[in-house]
Structure 1
Amino acid sequence: MKSNIFQPGYDELRKIRRQSRGLYWFTALFSMFVNLLMLTGPLYMMQVYDRVLGSRSEATLVALSVLVIFLYGTMGFLDYARGRILARVGARFQTALDRRVFDAMIRRSAVAQDSSAQTGLQDLESIQRLISSPVLGAAFDLPWTPIFLAGIALFHPWLGLLALAGGAILIAIAIANQIFTKAPTQKANMSSHKANLMSEEIRNEAEMIQAMGMRGASFARWQAVRTEALKDNMSASDSGGSFSTLTKTLRLFLQSAMLGLGAYLVLQNEVTPGAMIAGSILMGRALAPIEMGLGQWAMVQRAMKGWHSLAELLSKVPPETERTALPKPRAVLEVQGLAVVPPGSKAPLLRNVNFAVKPGQAIGIIGPSGSGKSTLARALTGVWRPAAGSVRLDGAALDQYPPDVLGSHIGYLPQRVQLFEGSIAQNIARLEQEPDADSVVAAAKKAAAHEMILKFPDGYDTIIRGGSGLLSGGQTQRVGLARALYQDPVIVILDEPNSNLDNEGSQALNHAIKQIKAEGRSVLIMAHRPAAIQECDMLLVIDKGTQTAFGPKDKVLQEMVANHQNIRKSTNAGGVQ
């Protein structure tokens, strides 16, 4: 049932894999010659023991040795070429899916906490590593194992039976390894992932942990998770290592047993000494792919899990359809009957919201904490899709614009501003590799951040590194505001824009809002502080996810004050009674 649900993802992965079908056939062809050339050693030993030592001919030994050098050189070249082909197949597979998986991961993570989204790129890398590793080469060698075992039987049936029994035991061990190590390996991977997430969370909040004396408590919390991960990893390692050791020991024993049985048959004059040595060498070669697979089974399991997780992610997030390019919209935003249900929830956080924004208007959105202001911001930027109703930009629904195009039309300053590793200019330019300097400076000036940035060691080229603490909260918010204003979006949405700003920053914010309005663009401001709505023309009041008022700012404020006074009078009257 589960595979049917995620079938589109499996089909997409197989389609990409089929692009390298020709290279896989080349690998199979090279593997055929490599395995045929593996017979060089056994045949050489047979000739040396049965012909050279019997005839005592040095010329024959030299001729055979020269031929063996050539054959081994050819085999080494083909094996090297096979490895290079598989490395490029792995790189081609990853390159073909990099953008698709990255987009799916961003789209899924933006609307839901999904483990398949969080590890998407790691899953893709695990598959690439398996394709490029010697394990896949061993998989191409595996079909030759029965042929080598049959070749041993040609020397003598007893030798063939010993080889067949040994091969069957090793295959049984491989199956048992897959069965008994699957659960411990999955548990170990989940525990390690949990520990890594917690360590990353602690690292990101290092300043707060240091300031509040939480190092001991945070270490104890992380150590408990880390210890559990270590236990799970040791359990998985012990389980897999026991099978790997058993396989190696059994293979060495089988080679010695092959020599012992061969020696007995030589004494009985049923095989030659050369056949005895050749049988032992062939036995080792026949079982080598199985031993390789068991030794690298953790990598195989990780890639198999990555394959299924990627199929799940790609099925949940299908490819985006091509959209007809629309002209740059006017600053007209219409919200009709909007209801928003957060991902993973069944109850709407917003219900029946209706308002319109015209060019040159600034609308303040106010309400108590948890009323749904940030939820509305996510819906207006297209991050969360409406469960009911619509959000239209200049008449077009938001999903009619490609995400990157929509982002260029709608500037967004989230409640918590996150800057990325890179220069300040790159952060303002929304991570463009080669930012347009004029646009970057213009956006910084509109956000009143230009003079502030010039005071940094390298100005706009100052590098921001994660957790460096180079910028204060207010400075970070100004850079975030400049990013929201980059390349003049027609709609600017500011969620608590002055939460970290001082008086000077608040004045700069109001100046930026006034300038946006003067340019015929529109602003929506989610705010608690009265200073943030100073330049607003209209007010939208949200309480408990419901729109309670919308209209001119002064009128709405008067109604709110009147209602407040009426409530107080009613309360006082009730108290008198």
Structure 2
Amino acid sequence: MANEFISGFRELKNARRENLHLFGIVFVFSVFVNILMLTGPLFMLQVYDRVLGSRSEETLVALFALVALLFFLMGVLDYARSRLMVRIGARFQKAISLRVFKAELLKAKHPKLRAQAAEGLRDIETMQALTNSPATMAIFDVPWAPVFIFAIFIFHPILGWLALGGGATLIVFAILNNVLTRRRTIEMQSTSIKAQSFAEESRQAVEIVSSQGLVSVVQNRWLQMKDLSLEKGVRASDWTGFFTTFSKAFRIFLQSAMLAVGAWLVLQGELTAGAMIAGSILLGRALAPIEQTIGQWALFQKSIAGWNALGILLSKHPEEETPMQLPRPEARLTVNAVNLLAEETRSPILSGISFELNPGEALGIIGKSGSGKSTLAKTALGLIAPTTGEIRLGGATLAQYGPEAIGSHIGYLPQELTLFDGTIAENIARMSQEPNEEQVVKSAIAANAHELILALPEGYQTVIRRGDGQLSGGQKQRIALARALYTDPVLLVLDEPNSALDAEGSDALNRAIRDFKSTGRSVLIMTHRPTAITECDTLAIVDQGAIRSFGPRDEVLRSGVRNATAVQSTLVKEAAY
């Protein structure tokens, strides 16, 4: 299991390694900042033991001027190292965020994982929040605690042992804080994510929720999940708050104890008043980063969990290698003995699928819902890798092209349409930052969508927002077809392409398919509607993931194959309707 996840953690370490020189600068600055932290105690020591004893104003002025200069320098260095840490977090995020975004897209290819939130992007934000917080500075300051405690030993061993015991107590409580709050923090995060995911699902399905009278049910279910999340959060915060409050109170008590013991030593003639005050200040400085670390421990835990989650995410979804660029393929799709098994049950989804689609032809895959049509479409696109068998486009396997090239060679109109926030022109141009306006119009004309786009108030510059309802389902479908044609593909894969089209839209779709075939390119259509197979030259009837009948369109429709009866009956009923 460890070897399985090593690659993702290596990527994270490489991204972190790019900032090692900046970490080195922060370390150097921290050295000087902590040395300059001795300015205050030493100043107090000199004031009490030298200035007050000698009653020398000149000495006081000189010491104060020096202290002012040293504190100014310390402030500059402290500010500089905090700014460097902010830039380290930004550089790390910039180095890894695109890779994480790609991994999230790869994860979303799996239907069962698609509904999950892009937690990897949240994990990056959490890790950056840690680098921006004072807690990170505490990490660089904690190693100086022994130095300050050693300085207290110089004043008097009793004070040193008191400081050492107090510091050890705080460290023990930091360990207990980690042990006792880690599981509770993870549970709180998990329940919170579930509540957020359910809220997002409900928001996306608001029409169903409202129309089916599910508002109160959804509200109650979300409230239960949120209450559980709050309960877990309160429990985790109770423990974290206990340790934070105790560490703060204990540190203040230790400083008072240091003053009390120091005063007793002064009365015994074993310590000066200046050393007593300086020891108290040094103790506060030694314990402050430990206390700060305990107070920010929840953020440390989130960052550690985020680091582990990112490592696993990147390992499970490695970056795809860019294959050698091949020339534009011939519009010939060959599917050879393709079998696809479900990952968990190993039950067959596609069984022995074989066919060849030649240039200038359209093949219709017809079958009942759940027969495997959409899965076959995604397999033909390379979105799903077959368990056995192969798919070739123009003689080369899909893997030899790579996802980017496949996207330009194969146009895809999915059953579930998605248009992005942006203009219609940007959507047709596949959200390209430098769209080819001529190709945008050409694609819209080829999809017979040009006129309907011009009829909109702002034409191609009409802005689309998800869920705004300004476009009908049929309009979206024709715009999505134009998007599929934008890169001048050699093959079109259409999954239920006229599910939202009226008679006029279906005629426009058929004209687009006819024109596409006339240029020597091919079309693969998944459907159970008779109007979608008008331009098909060949039909394949699919049932339970296997081809039951294959041949010329009219011959297949007239055949009396027993396994195709249900499909033919559906087509006849829809045609009559």
TM-score (norm 2): 0.95
2-structure distance, mates of 1:77, 1:303: 28
For residue 6 of structure 1, give the secondary structure of its aligned residue in structure 2: helix
Please say which of residues 430-439 and 383-392 is displaced more in the overlay.
430-439
Q: Does 1:35 align with 2:34?
A: yes
Equivalent position amino acid for 2:173 in 1:
I
Contact 1:105 1:117 in 2 (8 A): no
Contact 1:149 1:164 in 2 (8 A): yes
Q: Does 1:212 align with 2:203?
A: no
Could you list the per-position Cα deviations for residues 444-499 of structure 1 after superposition, in whole angstroms to 9, with x for gaps in the alignment?
A: 22222222222333222222223222222222222222211112111111111111
Q: Does 1:390 align with 2:390?
A: yes
Q: Does 1:138 align with 2:134?
A: no
Contact 1:112 1:344 in 2 (8 A): no
1-structure distance, mates of 2:182, 2:567: 64
Please say which of residues 389-398 and 211-220 is displaced more in the overlay.
211-220
Could you list the per-position Cα deviations for residues 514-562 of structure 1 after superposition, in whole angstroms to 9, with x for gaps in the alignment?
A: 1110121111110011001110001111101111122111111121478
The Cα shift of 1:135 comes to: 1.7
Q: Does 1:236 align with 2:236?
A: yes
- Are residues 343 and 424 of structure 1, via their aligned partners in 2, closer, same or farther at CA, if it must alter by over 3 Å? farther
For residue 535 of structure 1, give the secondary structure of its aligned residue in structure 2: coil
Contact 1:108 1:117 in 2 (8 A): no
Could you list the per-position Cα deviations for residues 66-85 of structure 1 after superposition, in whole angstroms to 9, with x for gaps in the alignment?
A: 11111111111111111111
Contact 1:419 1:427 in 2 (8 A): yes
* Aligned 1:331-480 pairs, distance under 5 A: 331-480=331-480
2-structure distance, mates of 1:234, 1:535: 63
- Are residues 246 and 219 of structure 1, via their aligned partners in 2, closer, same or farther at CA, if it must alter by over 3 Å? same
The Cα shift of 1:247 comes to: 1.1
Contact 1:364 1:525 in 2 (8 A): yes
Equivalent position amino acid for 2:523 in 1:
V
Equivalent position amino acid for 1:56 in 2:
R
* Aligned 1:20-419 pairs, distance under 5 A: 20-111=19-110, 113-114=112-113, 118-419=118-419
- Could you say which residue in structure 1 is the equivalent of 2:574? none
- Could you say which residue in structure 1 is the equivalent of 2:501? 501
The Cα shift of 1:564 comes to: 6.9
Contact 1:111 1:343 in 2 (8 A): no
Equivalent position amino acid for 2:417 in 1:
V
1-structure distance, mates of 2:102, 2:73: 44
Contact 2:366 2:567 in 1 (8 A): no
For residue 355 of structure 1, give the secondary structure of its aligned residue in structure 2: strand
The Cα shift of 1:15 comes to: 1.7
For residue 109 of structure 2, give the secondary structure of its aligned residue in structure 1: helix
2-structure distance, mates of 1:187, 1:39: 43
2-structure distance, mates of 1:466, 1:191: 28
2-structure distance, mates of 1:136, 1:422: 40
Please say which of residues 530-539 and 229-238 is displaced more in the overlay.
229-238
2-structure distance, mates of 1:287, 1:562: 83
- Are residues 369 and 566 of structure 1, via their aligned partners in 2, closer, same or farther at CA, if it must alter by over 3 Å? closer
Please say which of residues 217-226 and 385-394 is displaced more in the overlay.
217-226
Runs of 5+ consecutive residues of structure 2 not aligned to the other structure: 569-577
Could you list the per-position Cα deviations for residues 269-294 of structure 1 after superposition, in whole angstroms to 9, with x for gaps in the alignment?
A: 11111111111111111111111212
1-structure distance, mates of 2:150, 2:557: 92
Contact 1:494 1:526 in 2 (8 A): yes
Please say which of residues 273-282 and 314-323 is displaced more in the overlay.
314-323
Contact 2:423 2:464 in 1 (8 A): yes
Equivalent position amino acid for 2:100 in 1:
V
1-structure distance, mates of 2:40, 2:566: 100
Contact 2:541 2:564 in 1 (8 A): no
2-structure distance, mates of 1:226, 1:88: 35
Could you list the per-position Cα deviations for residues 348-375 of structure 1 after superposition, in whole angstroms to 9, with x for gaps in the alignment?
A: 2001000011111111000111110011
Could you list the per-position Cα deviations for residues 283-339 of structure 1 after superposition, in whole angstroms to 9, with x for gaps in the alignment?
A: 111111111212211211111011111111111122222311111111111000001
Please say which of residues 472-481 and 407-416 is displaced more in the overlay.
472-481
2-structure distance, mates of 1:220, 1:48: 67
- Are residues 342 and 125 of structure 1, via their aligned partners in 2, closer, same or farther at CA, if it must alter by over 3 Å? farther
Could you list the per-position Cα deviations for residues 31-50 of structure 1 after superposition, in whole angstroms to 9, with x for gaps in the alignment?
A: 00000001011111111111
Could you list the per-position Cα deviations for residues 54-106 of structure 1 after superposition, in whole angstroms to 9, with x for gaps in the alignment?
A: 11111111111111111111111111111111111111111111221111111
2-structure distance, mates of 1:513, 1:229: 52
2-structure distance, mates of 1:96, 1:564: 54
- Are residues 137 and 353 of structure 1, via their aligned partners in 2, closer, same or farther at CA, if it must alter by over 3 Å? same
For residue 336 of structure 1, give the secondary structure of its aligned residue in structure 2: strand
The Cα shift of 1:129 comes to: 2.2
- Could you say which residue in structure 2 is the equivalent of 1:482? 482
The Cα shift of 1:241 comes to: 1.3
Runs of 5+ consecutive residues of structure 1 not aligned to the other structure: 569-577
The Cα shift of 1:122 comes to: 1.4
- Could you say which residue in structure 2 is the equivalent of 1:574? none
The Cα shift of 1:162 comes to: 0.8
Contact 1:111 1:383 in 2 (8 A): no
- Are residues 562 and 5 of structure 1, via their aligned partners in 2, closer, same or farther at CA, if it must alter by over 3 Å? closer
2-structure distance, mates of 1:117, 1:196: 9
The Cα shift of 1:434 comes to: 2.8
* Aligned 1:541-560 pairs, distance under 5 A: 541-560=541-560
Contact 2:548 2:564 in 1 (8 A): no
2-structure distance, mates of 1:109, 1:565: 36
Contact 1:39 1:282 in 2 (8 A): yes
- Are residues 402 and 172 of structure 1, via their aligned partners in 2, closer, same or farther at CA, if it must alter by over 3 Å? same
Contact 1:104 1:117 in 2 (8 A): no
Could you list the per-position Cα deviations for residues 176-199 of structure 1 after superposition, in whole angstroms to 9, with x for gaps in the alignment?
A: 111111111111111111111111
Equivalent position amino acid for 1:42 in 2:
P
For residue 146 of structure 1, give the secondary structure of its aligned residue in structure 2: helix
* CA-atom RMSD in angstroms: 1.9
- Are residues 336 and 40 of structure 1, via their aligned partners in 2, closer, same or farther at CA, if it must alter by over 3 Å? same
2-structure distance, mates of 1:114, 1:173: 39
1-structure distance, mates of 2:566, 2:484: 41
- Are residues 106 and 343 of structure 1, via their aligned partners in 2, closer, same or farther at CA, if it must alter by over 3 Å? farther
* Aligned 1:501-540 pairs, distance under 5 A: 501-540=501-540
TM-score (norm 1): 0.95
Could you list the per-position Cα deviations for residues 205-254 of structure 1 after superposition, in whole angstroms to 9, with x for gaps in the alignment?
A: 22332233322222112111111111111122222111111111111111
- Are residues 563 and 301 of structure 1, via their aligned partners in 2, closer, same or farther at CA, if it must alter by over 3 Å? closer
1-structure distance, mates of 2:439, 2:105: 26
Equivalent position amino acid for 2:479 in 1:
V
1-structure distance, mates of 2:141, 2:563: 82
